[in-house]
Structure 1
Amino acid sequence: MSAETTPQSTRASSNDTTKRPQALLSTAYSYLQTSLDAAIPPPTRQRAYNKLSTFASRQPILFSFSALQLLFSLLPITLFLSFAISTLLLALSAAFAFALFWIGVASLFLVPTLFITSSFAALCWGASVGGFMFVRKLYHYAPAGSHQGKSSDSPSSGVKTLPGGTKEEAVNGDHVEQ
């Protein structure tokens, strides 16, 4: 049981198909108009249009020459600019990828090197701390007389060793005995 199509329903569906592109164009036009108004305010555009109109009426030959030059040159200039920008973006992305690749390769050498050097540094630090603790322990077990300062030379030389290990020279009269 198929539904019969009436001329009215055909007209309605035909009307819908013609309204749809018009609605799409209307939406696109209003979007472009809003974008243009945001980029260049309407009063500024009106002043530019008035100046251009005045120039065209005063110098029609020069205006027509300039307009045709702009019209014919606009496509090659646009294509050149898009080529230049895309080439620049391609070069930047290739350079970025190239740099990332070699940074990754270098990190394959850096990570093991850092592991080895930090292990060696920790080993040296541990040996230093262990040596310090060992010598300190030996110092505490040393006899009590070794902690006191002794004279390394005879008492008549006038040179004494102080507890810190430094030597003091005795002064006899006006001169220092060595």
Structure 2
Amino acid sequence: MAPTKNSSDSKAEDARQTAASLLSSASSYAHRSLDSLISPSTRQRAYDTTASFASDQPILFSFIAFQVLFSLLPILLFISFALSTFFLTLCAAVIFTLFWTGVASLFLIPTLFITSALAVLCWGSSVGSFVVARWLYHHAPAGVFPHSSGTSSPGTDVTSDGAWKDVQVKQFDDVKSLE
């Protein structure tokens, strides 16, 4: 069934109203954004100053207007090129840095594993040596006090079978008691 001329006109009218509504919304949004950036009074002063300059010196104003009109596009293109180059370089630098940091971590992680293992080994041997030395210190004779006079030197009274004779052993429970 072919649409009648009336229904196509109403659809076209609806499309125009929708477009007008969208343009009105976009325009009001632009005005609100511009008002938040530059106050309306400052903008009005700039318009008034520009209008008075255009009416006072129309030839100079037209020269400046044509220069801005024809130079604006190349300037905007250059600025967009410079900014995109900057961001491209920044992204490339970040990617470059991340790549080489990853490669360096392939060397760092095994190196840290080896150095950590060596550190644990040295610490363990130091703690083991300390524990053994402390155990020997607590179980070895701390002082020899002979109570008999013999032919040997003082503090070395030893029986014929090699055992200590008349020896007193001082036991220290705390290292601080030695100080």
For 2:102, the equivalent position in structure 1 comes to 104
Question: How many angstroms apart in 1 are the aligned matches of 2:3 and 2:90?
Answer: 61
Q: Deviations over 1:131-175 (max 9, x none)?
A: 11111111222224369xxx9xxxxxxxxxxxxxxxxxxxxxxxx
For 1:173, the equivalent position in structure 2 comes to none
RMSD: 1.9
Give the secondary structure class of the aligned counterpart of 2:98. helix
Question: How many angstroms apart in 2 are the aligned matches of 1:97 and 1:89?
Answer: 12
For 2:74, the equivalent position in structure 1 comes to 76
Q: Which amino acid in the other structure matches residue 93 of structure 2?
A: A
Task: Give the C-alpha shift of residue 66 in structure 1.
Answer: 0.7
Q: Deviations over 1:46-99 (max 9, x none)?
A: 000011111111111111111111111001100000000000100011001000
Task: Give the C-alpha shift of residue 7 in structure 1.
Answer: 4.5
Give the secondary structure class of the aligned counterpart of 2:53. helix
Question: How many angstroms apart in 2 are the aligned matches of 1:5 and 1:45?
Answer: 50
Task: Give the C-alpha shift of residue 8 in structure 1.
Answer: 3.8
Distance 1:7 1:129, change over 3 A: same
Gap regions ≥5 residues in structure 1: 152-178
Gap regions ≥5 residues in structure 2: 146-153, 155-179
% identity of equivalent residues: 58
- Using the size of structure 1 for normalisation, the TM-score is 0.75
Q: Which amino acid in the other structure matches residue 59 of structure 2?
A: I
- Using the size of structure 2 for normalisation, the TM-score is 0.75
Distance 1:21 1:144, change over 3 A: closer
For 1:94, the equivalent position in structure 2 comes to 92
Alignment of 1:1-178 (within 5 A): 5-145=3-143
Q: How many residues align?
A: 146
Distance 1:146 1:22, change over 3 A: farther
Question: How many angstroms apart in 2 are the aligned matches of 1:80 and 1:144?
Answer: 89
The structure with more strand, counted as a fraction of residues: 1
Task: Give the C-alpha shift of residue 32 in structure 1.
Answer: 1.1
